Amino acid sequence: MKGDVHREYLSPDLNLLRMYRLYKEKNTTSSAKFWVYRDIFKQQSLNFGQPRSDTCGKCDAFFTKMSAATSEEEKRKIAVESELHHRKAEKAYTQLQSDTEWAKANADCHVISVDLQGVMYTPNLTHSNVYYQRQLSNFNLCLQELGKEDPAYMCVWHEGIAHRGSIEVASCILKWVKTKFTPLPKPEVRKLIIFSDRCCGQNNNWRMLNLMSMLISMGYFTQVEQKFMVSGHSFLPCDRSFATIEKRRKVSVLHTPDDVSKMILEAQPAKPFKVMRMQCEDFRHLPDSVLKRPAGLQITSK
Ligand SMILES: [Zn+2]
Over the Cα atoms of the chain, what is R_g?
23
Percent of the chain with pLDDT over 90: 55
**What does the pLDDT average to over 271-292?**
85
Task: Please report the pLDDT score of residue 2 as a whole number.
Answer: 39
Task: Please report the pLDDT score of residue 110 as a whole number.
Answer: 97
CA distance 232 to 230: 6
Query: What is the CA(65)–ligand 1 centre distance, in A?
Result: 14
Query: What is the CA(85)–ligand 1 centre distance, in A?
Result: 6
CA 171 to chain centre: 15
Cβ count within 10 A of residue 182: 8
Percent of the chain with pLDDT over 70: 91
pLDDT at 288 over 70: no
pLDDT at 223 over 90: yes
Query: What is the CA(82)–ligand 1 centre distance, in A?
Result: 8
CA distance 235 to 244: 15
Band of pLDDT at residue 271, cut at 50, 70 and 90: very high
pLDDT at 297 over 70: yes
Query: What is the CA(108)–ligand 1 centre distance, in A?
Result: 34
Task: Please report the pLDDT score of residue 147 as a whole number.
Answer: 94
Band of pLDDT at residue 263, cut at 50, 70 and 90: very high
CA distance 243 to 232: 17
Query: What is the CA(57)–ligand 1 centre distance, in A?
Result: 7
106 neighbors 147 (Cβ within 8 angstroms): no
User: Which residues 6+ apart lie within 8 Å of 44 measured at CB?
Assistant: none
130-156, pLDDT tens digit by residue?
A: 667 788 999 999 999 999 999 999 999
Task: Please report the pLDDT score of residue 63 as a whole number.
Answer: 87
| Most confident by average pLDDT, 35-39, 66-70, 171-175, 250-254 | 171-175
Query: What is the CA(90)–ligand 1 centre distance, in A?
Result: 11
CA distance 150 to 181: 13
Question: CA neighbours within 13 Å on the CB side: how many for 214?
Answer: 19
64-119, pLDDT tens digit by residue?
A: 898 898 999 999 999 999 999 899 888 998 999 999 999 999 999 999 999 999 99
Band of pLDDT at residue 1, cut at 50, 70 and 90: very low
Task: Please report the pLDDT score of residue 11 as a whole number.
Answer: 73
**What does the pLDDT average to over 9-32?**
83
Query: What is the CA(234)–ligand 1 centre distance, in A?
Result: 10
pLDDT at 3 over 50: no
Task: Please report the pLDDT score of residue 76 as a whole number.
Answer: 93
Query: What is the CA(58)–ligand 1 centre distance, in A?
Result: 5
**What does the pLDDT average to over 204-229?**
93
Task: Please report the pLDDT score of residue 279 as a whole number.
Answer: 94
User: Over the chain, what is the mean pLDDT?
Assistant: 88
**What does the pLDDT average to over 222-233?**
89
204 neighbors 299 (Cβ within 8 angstroms): yes
Query: What is the CA(232)–ligand 1 centre distance, in A?
Result: 6
CA distance 176 to 62: 39
Q: Which residue has the higher pLDDT, 296 or 162?
A: 162
Query: What is the CA(76)–ligand 1 centre distance, in A?
Result: 17
**What does the pLDDT average to over 60-64?**
88
* 57-62 long-range Cβ contacts below 8 angstroms, 24+ apart: 57/2, 57/231, 57/232, 58/85, 58/232, 59/85, 59/232, 60/2, 60/3
Query: What is the CA(239)–ligand 1 centre distance, in A?
Result: 18
Band of pLDDT at residue 127, cut at 50, 70 and 90: low
Band of pLDDT at residue 18, cut at 50, 70 and 90: confident
Query: What is the CA(56)–ligand 1 centre distance, in A?
Result: 4
Q: Which residue has the higher pLDDT, 174 or 199?
A: 174
Band of pLDDT at residue 5, cut at 50, 70 and 90: low
pLDDT at 9 over 90: no
